Structure 1
Amino acid sequence: MNNPPKTVISRRSRPAKEPLSKDLIVKTALELLKNEGSAGLSMRKIAKALDTGPSSLYVYVTNLQELSAYVLDYGLDKVVFPSSQDGSWKTRLFDVLNSYLTVLYESPGIAELSLTTIPIGPHSLAITEYILQRLQEGGIHSTSAAWGADLLLLYASSVAFEQSSRDQKGTTLLAISSSYQSLDAIQYPMIASLRNEMTSSDGEERFRWGLEVILHGILLKQE
């Protein structure tokens, strides 16, 4: 039996690859992160997607930690900064944090990175700078502003990661509420008495309530 002749494609007829660069590596890593989650963020997988060897990536990034920081920063470019005319300093502070939460929620991998990666890069720094400016505008300075900004971002990242993780796993508030309804009221009297409140308003209202609590604590420490 004769095998059909194989068609050999000349290298010259293949589309030219985009030259390797830090930007291309970061964009590719972000796509893998979106499609595969944190498991996709490996030097081996990124190199394979770029049709190159892992060692070639280290010309542009020192290690996976540094690359993760660049990917996080690139993913934060969609955060919206309210203008100086949009309400009070607190309203603008809460609005930028809500935008930050939304961006992280829509990209679960980025939400996870925000909890495990030291933020560097222009977008990350711009968000922190904006938050510090609003806190200063509200009369919060020095250590209270520095630690407060970190706490506010950590809270937003945690909420985004929790909500996106629930969605990925199909865990709904109805399921959580049902588990509370079946609890032994004698063994868990407080949970039983507050079971409706514990799963109420799981959205922007609850998020902003948390921001209010944190900000109130920061203002008290400032005094």
Structure 2
Amino acid sequence: MNNPTRTPVSRRSRPAKDPLSQEVIVKTAFDLLEREGSSGLSMRKIAKALDTGPSSLYVYVKNLEELSTYVLDYGLGKLVLPPAADGSWQSNLFDALNAYLTVLYESPGLAELALTTIPIGPHSLALMEYILARLDEGGASSISAAWGVDLLLLYTASVAFEQTSRDRMGTTLQTITETFRSLDPLRYPMIAALKDVMFSGDETGDLQRFRWGLEAILRGVLQTGDKAPGRDVNA
């Protein structure tokens, strides 16, 4: 039965939607990633947020994998790299990776995306180019620089992912340390002996532990050279 008091609403009176484009899709996907983490990055959810069907998105992106590369690069648009002329090559390298860590940490879901997505966007490539240039300044060989940049980026992303995951799950470092301190020293003598040191390094917020990891990787990168992996240098 029709309601005589109901006022018909014309579709023309509805607010006009923004025209669909790759830029709009990427921005919407990034917003969902920040609100919901990686679970928000699905074609169905993005389409729903844009009030359209999933099939409409494929006009602008091939698949979710391609969209993920655009979303990652969109997030890295916030990254500010230190001027190469300021400071030493090593301090610039560490400052760049620290800035990368901060961007990943401040955008929930972006760290996980950095670990699972091939970085081919302009902002991602600019970061890679910057790191390669600093490694070249430091005297790294071609293989060491080409493979070392991957190690440095993966290490930074993994640290950011660990931190954001703990925050999301509400797991504090105190909870983890208490668990380790309660372990049986007879069964785990090395862990018991090092239990206090294992969780040290970042108490003051100055990222000592993160920097130590970067320095350890960097020393290996600079010392390895271009010798073939697994080959005995004395052979």
**TM-score category by the smaller chain?**
over 0.9
Gaps of 5+ in 2: 227-235
Give 2:218's match in structure 1, choosing from 202, 205, 215. 215
| Residue matched to 2:150 | 150
Shift of 1:173: 1.1
Gaps of 5+ in 1: none
Between the two proteins, what is the percent identity of the paired residues? 70
Q: Helix, strand or coil for the counterpart of 1:100? A: helix
Q: Equivalents in 2 of 1:165, 1:4: separation in Å?
A: 55
TM-score (norm 2): 0.91
Give 4+ residue runs of structure 1 displaced > 4 Å after superposition. 1-4
Q: Equivalents in 2 of 1:71, 1:2: separation in Å?
A: 47
TM-score (norm 1): 0.96
Q: Equivalents in 2 of 1:2, 1:124: separation in Å?
A: 58
Q: Equivalents in 2 of 1:8, 1:128: separation in Å?
A: 57
Q: Equivalents in 2 of 1:17, 1:108: separation in Å?
A: 27
- Give the number of the structure whose residues are more often helix, by fraction: 1
8 Å contact kept, 2:141–2:222: no
Q: Equivalents in 2 of 1:162, 1:8: separation in Å?
A: 53
Q: Helix, strand or coil for the counterpart of 2:109? A: helix
8 Å contact kept, 2:128–2:149: yes
Shift of 1:4: 6.2
Aligned-CA RMSD value: 1.6
Counterpart of 2:18, as a letter, is E
| Residue matched to 1:184 | 184
Q: How many residues were matched structurally?
A: 223
Q: Helix, strand or coil for the counterpart of 1:194? A: helix
Which is further off, 76-85 or 89-98? 76-85
Q: Equivalents in 2 of 1:136, 1:4: separation in Å?
A: 78
CA distance change for structure 1 residues 185 and 109 in 2, over 3 Å: closer, same or farther? same
